[in-house]
Amino acid sequence: MGTGASQTPPATPPAPVVNEDGTIEGLPPIEAEPAILDFGFIPPRESRKGAFKLWNRGEKPLTVLMVQPSCKCTTTTDLADTVIKPGEFAELEAELDGAPLPSPRRATIKVLIDGYSRVMELELKGEVAYPLRAPPGYLNIVRGQEQKGRLVVESIDKKPFRICQIQGAAPDFIGFDPSQDEPRAQYLVRWDMAQYDGKPPAYWVIETDRADCPVLPIRVRHETTLPKPTFRLKEYSVNLGRVEPGKPVEVEILMEDPGEAIIAAAAVSEHARAELVGTEMVEGTLHAKVRVTVRPEFQGFLIFPLTLYSASKEMDIVTFGVSRPSSQPGCAP
């Protein structure tokens, strides 16, 4: 007669709860691989593509009814009516668009499976960034917040670079002497908005010697810097980068359908002029091309309003950049 302990039979899984409409309460037995689609760093105005594998971990075929991204910044393949057999997967491709300026980027994709009450949510994330970054990408000086602080400025590729100027002035470095120390891949700098007496600039602009990132804008969050959107723009600023004095550059401003034609553009600056080159409507988005020319005699930091006009409305857009001759690469003497 055996002496071993008796074994308890495995518990029977509880029966699924069925709602009045016949759907099963809860999420479908689908496992997403990867759990989060992380695109890492995304250059401004570019996009990244990836794919989820949706594995059927149940015992019955599952039919996809709907795939819906949370915002226009995300596009996906259409899996509607796709049947996923047990132990197999369907591939869901997804593309995440980068914003015009540095910022964290997050989106979700809802997936509805036939016969289940709850919708799956897949997560996508990335960070829109220039080759240089200054996390979190903005200075928060709204009412009641500190008006001074410190900010890390670093290269994504870990290569050394120089900070030439900040807002047209010498940087206030911490632990670094530009006259003696070799360039670094990371700097700690002080910022001070108290000097503007309650009317700070909309952007704190860093000039560097990186050819692929000569101008790094940092958004300043304050009651006075909020955009006043007469037109609905994709981004309420224009980064000219480094421009040649006297040589025109063209920029493209994207907006939702303004309802009436954009007919003119002008630069509110003694150092630059702007003119509208033309407009084009593409899939509900108006592309306004503007030519900006910095006066030949001017060199240095620029920040000014660029005004767009329709027949009855107008709007100022913060525009910034640095005017330097191409014969003077790197930081100007």
- Mean pLDDT to the nearest integer, 219-234: 90
Check which CATH number belongs to the domain holding 257 and give it.
2.60.40.10
Are 152 and 115 in the same domain? Answer: no
Are 207 and 281 in the same domain? Answer: no
Does residue 2 lie in a domain region? no
Query: Residue 305: pLDDT above 50?
Result: yes
Read off the pLDDT of residues 24-69 as tens digits, 9 standing for 90 and up: 888 999 999 999 999 999 988 889 999 999 999 999 999 999 999 9
What's the domain range around 297?
A: 229-333
Backbone angles phi, psi at 23, to 5 degrees: -85, 155
User: 150, 111, 114: which is closest to 134 by C-alpha?
Assistant: 150
SS3 of residue 70 by DSSP: coil
Share of the chain above pLDDT 90, in %: 72
Whole-number Å distance between alpha carbons of 326 and 69 = 44
Read off the pLDDT of residues 77-108 as tens digits, 9 standing for 90 and up: 999 999 999 999 999 999 998 877 778 889 99
pLDDT given at position 9: 59
pTM, full prediction:
0.80
pLDDT given at position 19: 72
CB atoms near residue 331 (< 10 Å): 16
Whole-number Å distance between alpha carbons of 81 and 113 = 9
Share of the chain above pLDDT 70, in %: 94
pLDDT given at position 10: 60
Q: Give Cβ neighbours of residue 58 (< 8 Å, ≥ 6 apart).
A: 28, 29, 30, 86
Read off the pLDDT of residues 142-199 as tens digits, 9 standing for 90 and up: 877 888 999 999 999 999 999 999 999 999 999 999 999 999 999 999 999 988 888 9
Number of domains in the chain: 3
